[in-house]
């Protein structure tokens, strides 16, 4: 007779709810569902986002019973910091592990006075394949969750210690200009930005949270209906023929449609606002006088400012950065047309700390940590007018 094997009941492992990425409304619903009072949501939000608490034990104004209850079904799980690097000019850079072996980078850039701008990623990779972008060249891997997006702000804030008062915020500005196309990951990006704005969250002003997009018109219209944040458009070309080559999504949403969407967006903003136009200058491609003049002409109907970004080279890109003189000439042509057009520049040749160019090397996982340890963050000298908001 064969002895009966003891039965091993297949108990599914219950995933705990990560509270970090929940908006106030979602947290309120969560506590109500738990049979608790709604106001617990604001309390827990403040613990997570003001005081950087990652465990319920720290939340001393919750009863012991409630803390125990939360421990059974919930957690506060920020992304894991793989590497933190602080440069001599105060730029801080983090490599974050976001599950399934993926990594994203986040950079905090001091921008004069008490201003510190955090460049936040929205996706691992990007599917839009802009021809000059190293993120685009890596293809798309996955969307980040709200907790992984807001977790980047959490990590940056945590590195300064708990917030003492609202006047002394470690992160004063956020730009969604890291890896990925924010509007291709619409709902999680929206939730994360709501937490950025929310008083119980990071309490950052709507003018100081900027979403940067290559121009997804329907999502832009939706965004304007649902939140009021600043807008940056990655234009990079003054006509459809050239933009189709550089930013392929332009074939779907050509420039005149994009500009009209920007105008609609500005109308929905609660105050008078300008769109920031990002224009990456590539030698011999889009840096000639005819381009500057055409750019100035097409932007006339749109309240905007132009940020010039000298192309950031990467291996096999096929593009080159224009000479400093050419960049200045381009700026001058725009000046003559009435645009101030600040240049987003860097100190030294390497601008790896610039947003949008963060993660190329992170994806190459070979000797990743060792290489990061060997390298120093290049000191990014960001024009005081960049990013636009604030």
Where does this chain bind ligand SF4 (CB under 6 A)? 126, 128-130, 133, 135-136, 180-181, 214, 234
Work out what residue 105 binds among ligand SF4, ligand SAH, none; the CB cut-off runs from 5 to 8 Å by kind.
none
- The nearest distance, CB 218 to ligand SAH, in angstroms, is 16
355 is catalytic: yes
Contact flag: residue 214 with ligand SAH (CB under 6 A): yes
The structure tokens listed for 31 are: 């506590």
Tell me the C-alpha distance between 147 and 188, whole Å.
8
Closest by alpha carbon to 220, among 278, 272, 265, 274?
265
105 is catalytic: yes
Contact flag: residue 312 with ligand SAH (CB under 6 A): yes
Contact flag: residue 230 with ligand SAH (CB under 6 A): no
Give the helix/strand (H/E) hosting 283.
none
- Contact yes or no for 95/82 (Cβ under 8 A): yes
- The nearest distance, CB 313 to ligand SAH, in angstroms, is 7
- The nearest distance, CB 343 to ligand SF4, in angstroms, is 18
Name the H helices within 184-254. Answer: 186-197, 217-226, 240-246
Give the range of 147-155, 156-164, 304-312, 376-384 binding ligand SAH by CB under 6 A.
304-312
Catalytic residue, candidates 126, 133, 262, 355: 355
Contact flag: residue 386 with ligand SAH (CB under 6 A): no
Work out what residue 177 binds among ligand SAH, ligand SF4, none; the CB cut-off runs from 5 to 8 Å by kind.
ligand SAH
The DSSP string of 138-165 is: T-EEEEPPHHHHHHHHHHHHHTT-S---
**Between residue 104 and residue 163, which ones bind ligand SAH under the rule CB under 6 A?**
132-133
Q: How many residues bind ligand SAH (CB under 6 A)?
A: 16
Give the helix/strand (H/E) hosting 91.
none
Catalytic residue, candidates 28, 105, 148, 278: 105
Nearest-10 Cα torsion for 133, 196, 149, 147? -170
- The nearest distance, CB 122 to ligand SF4, in angstroms, is 9
Nearer to ligand SAH, 206 or 321 (CB): 321
- Contact yes or no for 32/38 (Cβ under 8 A): yes
Q: What angle do CA 196, 228, 108 make, to 5 degrees?
A: 35
- The nearest distance, CB 336 to ligand SF4, in angstroms, is 28
Work out what residue 238 binds among ligand SF4, ligand SAH, none; the CB cut-off runs from 5 to 8 Å by kind.
none
Given candidates 48, 309, 327, 353, which one binds ligand SAH under the rule CB under 6 A? 309
E-assigned strand segments in 222-369: 230-234, 275-281, 304-310
Nearer to ligand SF4, 126 or 193 (CB): 126
- Contact yes or no for 251/292 (Cβ under 8 A): no
| Residue found by looking up tokens 């990467």 in the block | 314
Cis status of the peptide bond prior to 387, with omega within 30 of 0: yes
Nearer to ligand SAH, 143 or 280 (CB): 280
> Residues 134-159, buried b or exposed e (16+ Cβ, 10 A)?
bbbbbebbebbbbbbbbbbbbbbbbe
**Between residue 164 and residue 203, which ones bind ligand SAH under the rule CB under 6 A?**
177, 181
Nearer to ligand SF4, 70 or 247 (CB): 247
Residues designated as active site:
105, 355
Provide the binding-site residues for ligand SAH, judged by CB under 6 A.
Answer: 132-133, 177, 181, 212-214, 234, 278, 280, 309, 311-312, 355-357
């Amino acid at each position: 007779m064969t002895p009966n094997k003891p039965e091993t009941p297949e108990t599914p492992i219950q995933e705990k709810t990560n509270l970090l990425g929940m908006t106030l409304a979602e947290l309120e619903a969560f506590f109500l569902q738990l049979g608790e009072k709604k106001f617990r949501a604001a309390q827990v939000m403040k613990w997570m986002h003001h005081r950087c608490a990652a465990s319920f034990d720290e939340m001393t104004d919750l009863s012991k019973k409630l803390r125990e209850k939360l421990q059974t079904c919930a957690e506060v799980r920020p992304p894991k910091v793989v590497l933190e690097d602080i440069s001599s000019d105060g730029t801080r850079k983090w490599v974050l592990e976001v599950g399934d072996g993926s990594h994203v980078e986040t950079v905090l850039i001091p921008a004069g006075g008490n201003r510190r701008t955090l460049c936040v990623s929205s996706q691992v990779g990007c599917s839009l394949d802009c021809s000059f972008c190293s993120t685009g060249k890596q293809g798309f891997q996955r969307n980040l969750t709200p907790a992984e997006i807001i977790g980047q702000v959490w990590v940056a804030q945590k590195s300064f210690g708990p917030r003492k008062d609202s006047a002394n915020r470690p992160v004063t500005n956020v730009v969604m200009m890291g890896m990925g196309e924010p509007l291709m990951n619409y709902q999680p990006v929206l939730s994360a930005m709501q937490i950025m704005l929310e008083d119980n969250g990071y309490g950052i002003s709507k003018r100081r949270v900027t979403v940067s997009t290559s121009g997804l018109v329907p999502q832009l219209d939706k965004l304007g209906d649902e939140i009021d944040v600043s807008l940056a458009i990655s234009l990079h070309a003054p006509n459809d023929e050239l933009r189709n080559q550089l930013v392929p999504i332009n074939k779907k949403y050509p420039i005149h449609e994009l500009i009209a969407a920007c105008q609609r967006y500005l109308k929905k903003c609660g105050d008078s606002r300008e769109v920031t136009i990002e224009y990456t200058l590539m030698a011999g491609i889009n840096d000639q006088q005819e381009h500057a003049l055409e750019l100035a002409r097409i932007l006339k109907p749109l309240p905007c400012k132009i940020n010039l970004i000298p192309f950031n080279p990467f291996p096999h890109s096929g593009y080159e950065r224009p000479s400093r003189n050419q960049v200045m000439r381009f700026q001058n042509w725009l000046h003559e047309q009435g645009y101030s057009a600040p240049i987003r520049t860097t100190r030294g040749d390497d601008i790896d700390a610039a947003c949008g160019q963060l993660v190329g090397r992170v994806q190459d996982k070979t000797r990743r940590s060792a290489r990061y340890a060997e390298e120093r963050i290049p000191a990014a000298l960001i024009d005081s007018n960049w990013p636009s908001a604030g």
